Amino acid sequence: MSQPDQIVFLVDVDDTLLENDRIQDDLKQHIEREFGAECRDRYWAIQEELFQELGYRDYLGAFQRFRVEHPYEHHLVTASNYLVDYPFNQRLYPGALDVLKKLRGWGTTVILTDGDVVFQPRKVERAGIFKAVDGHVLIYVHKEAALADVKRRYPADHYVVVDDKLRILDAIKKAWSKNVTTVFARQGKFANDPKIQVAFPQAADVTIEHIGDLLQMNLSQILKK
């Protein structure tokens, strides 16, 4: 095992670096234009079913299930192509890549995200995130259940985790305790759900309204030292 870094930053993607709500809205509008409102609603119902099953958004898997219900709609390929070729770099939150650059000046910076093995890597690459972190990307089905693997791959004296989901931050805080600083990016619908905020009141050591706020902070402010 390599020697541990003094500090490693672990940064989420969806609704932390990328405005995922807008991506979803664009996809819904595209499906409605191509197939109509009824197909849009059915596709999204399948999407929600998969989300409950898997714990992450499986857009391409939802298209596969949708295709089973509509086996003779050959132009369904246009919808999946739309998603694969989507300009994700246009949905980066302001300052997102600059934040990654700043964090890299303080320590190893790693993308830590949930997702499938095809679409999520594509999203990270097309958004410019893969290049911004020099390829340090970890994608799991449930990242909070893969913390031992994260530590094995990126040993550190201390971790800083930046995420929009309090549930994830809470799980990591419970697992790593004083060895982690949790940063809550209050962006997107999950981050602003009052029920979730009440359920995990102690999950975040630091709360920011926008990912770009980290550009105005120094390391001591983040670590609260």
Q: What is the mean pLDDT of the chain?
A: 91
Element (H, E) at 71: none
pLDDT at 1 over 50: no
Nearest to 107 by CA among 52, 177, 154: 154
Structure tokens at 87: 């300009």
pLDDT at 4 over 90: no
Q: How far apart are CA 42 and CA 79, in angstroms?
A: 14
Q: What is the pLDDT of residue 202?
A: 83
Which CATH number does 20-88 carry? Answer: 1.10.286.50
pLDDT at 215 over 90: yes
Question: Where in the chain is CATH 1.10.286.50?
Answer: 20-88
Percent of the chain topping pLDDT 90: 63
Mean pLDDT over 176-195 rounds to 92
Question: Where in the chain is CATH 3.40.50.1000?
Answer: 5-18+92-223
CATH topology of domain 5-18+92-223: Rossmann fold (3.40.50)
Is the Cβ–Cβ distance between 26 and 83 less than 8 Å?
Answer: no
Query: pLDDT class for 114, splitting at 50, 70, 90?
Result: very high
Angle between helices 76-84 and 20-35 (to 10 degrees): 160
Mean pLDDT over 148-163 rounds to 97
Is the Cβ–Cβ distance between 210 and 216 less than 8 Å?
Answer: no
Tracing tokens 């934040």 back to the chain, one arrives at 99
